[in-house]
């Protein structure tokens, strides 16, 4: 029996977190979302609910890496070989949310190469890991601040490059690994190193809702869902479909969004003034603003898009605040 997912449109509050996730789905190159805050604020529910409304993706049937049959340049080695023999078989499936447990080892994450087999027969045999399962989906890491730093580095490297590269004893294997990385953490349990913080595209702070009316609405909706998931979900089906269509349209027009040169200069000058290290922040602000413009159906980046991008992209990169003192 298929487990019913709580409808995304029925979730009360946490608008900043929802928007950060949506923008990453529109443009995964933004670099993922770090969600900081207390437990029980709907982080996992929101991630799974968003994945549930996304359009199904087309994959190469039988491929453990979920290769896109319409992107021959991004096929894994096996699918590339199969393509030489004829058209690739296709299948459709939902976007996956893949959980990464804190106990995961490096081999479990990146996959393993059978060195002995390779040396004996000359054939590369690769056992796919978590990154292979997450390709074209969402990789969810709860309490990412408790994960070993070098494993967080691995995840961020793969997310940035869109490729998982494994090398053992001079033998290497690579496969596509494009995914939206979502990490959650409770700052009271320890912080991430600043170098790792900066590599997350967006960062949002979440906390329990303080408005009594909204808290009551959360209770009522949750209980109604548990009583009759089918009927409850039907009430929000149209709203979910509208949002899914809006995301799909934004993905289509993303690369057509105009980015005026004066906007690039505004962002560069502002981040210099704020003392943001490196250049990753500049790029993230622009990409986030572009994704927001696409989500809103605009043809060019506006002041509103920049403000949203600033709010989501800069807090974890600032040495000092508030950044409201320096306007775009």
DSSP assignment of 229-240: HHHHHHHTHHHH
- Mean pLDDT calculated for residue range 59-66: 88
- Pick the closest to residue 63 from 18, 93, 42, 35 (CA basis): 93
Query: With 50 as the cut, is the pLDDT of residue 64 above it?
Result: yes
Strand, helix or coil for residue 127: strand
Residues 243 and 249: their CA atoms lie apart, in Å, by 10
Is position 86 within any domain? no
pLDDT at 323: 41
Helices within 86-162 (DSSP H only): 106-110, 115-121, 130-134, 149-161
* Total domains in the fold of the chain: 2
Is position 148 within any domain? yes
Strand 126-127, strand 171-176: pairing: unpaired
Query: With 80 as the cut, is the pLDDT of residue 118 above it?
Result: no
Is position 102 within any domain? yes
Confidence bin at 124 (pLDDT 50/70/90): low
- Mean pLDDT calculated for residue range 200-229: 90
With 0-12 / 13-18 / 19 or more C-beta atoms within 10 angstroms meaning exposed / middle / buried, residue 229 is: middle
Beta-carbon contacts of 71 under 8 Å, excluding residues fewer than 6 positions away, are: none
- The CATH number for 46's domain is 3.40.50.300
Strand, helix or coil for residue 321: coil
- Count CB atoms within 10 A of the CB of residue 108: 16
* Whether residue 291 sits in one domain with residue 164: no
Which residues are paired to 300 by β-bridges?
A: 258
Is position 49 within any domain? yes
* Whether residue 199 sits in one domain with residue 263: no
* Whether residue 284 sits in one domain with residue 197: no
Is position 60 within any domain? no
- Count CB atoms within 10 A of the CB of residue 53: 22
Residues 131 and 123: their CA atoms lie apart, in Å, by 22
3-state SS, one letter per residue, for 214-266? HHHHHHHHHHHHHHCHHHHHHHCHHHHHHHHHHHHHHHHHHHHCECCHHHHHH
Provide the annotated active-site residues.
280
CA dihedral 40, 45, 50, 52 (to 10 degrees): 180
**pLDDT (tens digit, 9 = 90+) per residue, 296-320?**
999 999 999 999 999 999 988 876 4
- Mean pLDDT calculated for residue range 112-119: 66
Average pLDDT, the chain: 85
Task: Show the tokens assigned to 102.
Answer: 């804190």
Domain final residue pick, 208, 226, 242: 208
Is position 164 within any domain? yes
Query: With 80 as the cut, is the pLDDT of residue 18 above it?
Result: yes
**pLDDT (tens digit, 9 = 90+) per residue, 85-113?**
888 888 998 888 898 988 888 888 988 87
Residues 288 and 309: their CA atoms lie apart, in Å, by 5
Is position 266 within any domain? yes
Tell me the residue range of the domain where 288 lies. 254-325
Beta-carbon contacts of 45 under 8 Å, excluding residues fewer than 6 positions away, are: 6, 11
* Whether residue 280 sits in one domain with residue 179: no
Is position 85 within any domain? no
Q: Cis peptide before 261, with omega less than 30 degrees from 0? A: no
pLDDT at 37: 83
* Whether residue 258 sits in one domain with residue 198: no
Query: With 70 as the cut, is the pLDDT of residue 154 above it?
Result: yes
- The CATH number for 303's domain is 1.10.8.80
* Whether residue 123 sits in one domain with residue 40: yes
- Pick the closest to residue 198 from 28, 24, 17, 31 (CA basis): 31
């Amino acid at each position: 029996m298929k487990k019913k997912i709580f409808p995304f449109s029925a979730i009360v509050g946490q608008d900043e977190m929802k928007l950060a996730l949506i923008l990453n789905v529109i443009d995964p190159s933004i670099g993922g979302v770090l969600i900081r805050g207390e437990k029980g604020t709907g982080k996992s529910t929101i991630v799974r609910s968003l994945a549930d409304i996304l359009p199904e993706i087309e994959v190469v049937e039988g491929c453990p890496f979920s290769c896109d049959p319409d992107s021959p340049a991004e096929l894994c080695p096996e699918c590339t070989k199969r393509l030489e023999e004829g058209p690739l078989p296709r299948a459709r499936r939902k976007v996956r949310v893949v959980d990464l447990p804190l106990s995961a080892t490096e081999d479990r994450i990146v996959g393993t190469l059978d060195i002995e087999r390779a040396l004996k027969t000359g054939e590369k045999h690769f056992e796919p890991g978590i990154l292979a399962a997450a390709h074209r989906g969402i990789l969810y890491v709860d309490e990412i601040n408790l994960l070993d730093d070098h494993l967080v580095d691995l995840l961020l490297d793969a997310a940035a490059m869109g490729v998982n590269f494994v090398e053992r004893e001079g033998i290497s294997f690579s496969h596509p690994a494009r995914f939206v990385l979502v990490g959650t953490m409770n700052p009271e349990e320890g912080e991430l190193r600043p170098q790792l913080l900066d590599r997350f595209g967006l960062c949002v702070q979440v906390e329990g809702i303080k408005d009594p009316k909204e808290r009551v609405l959360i209770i009522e909706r949750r209980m109604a869902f548990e009583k009759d998931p089918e009927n409850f979900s039907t009430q929000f089906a149209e709203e979910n479909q509208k949002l899914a269509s809006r995301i799909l349209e934004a993905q289509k027009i993303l690369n057509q969004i105009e980015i005026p040169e004066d906007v690039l200069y505004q962002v560069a000058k502002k981040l210099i003034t704020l003392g943001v290290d490196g250049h990753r922040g500049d790029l993230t602000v622009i990409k986030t603003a572009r994704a927001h413009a696409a989500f809103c159906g605009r043809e060019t980046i506006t002041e509103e898009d920049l403000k949203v991008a600033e709010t989501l992209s800069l807090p974890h990169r600032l040495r000092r605040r508030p950044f409201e003192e320096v306007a775009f």
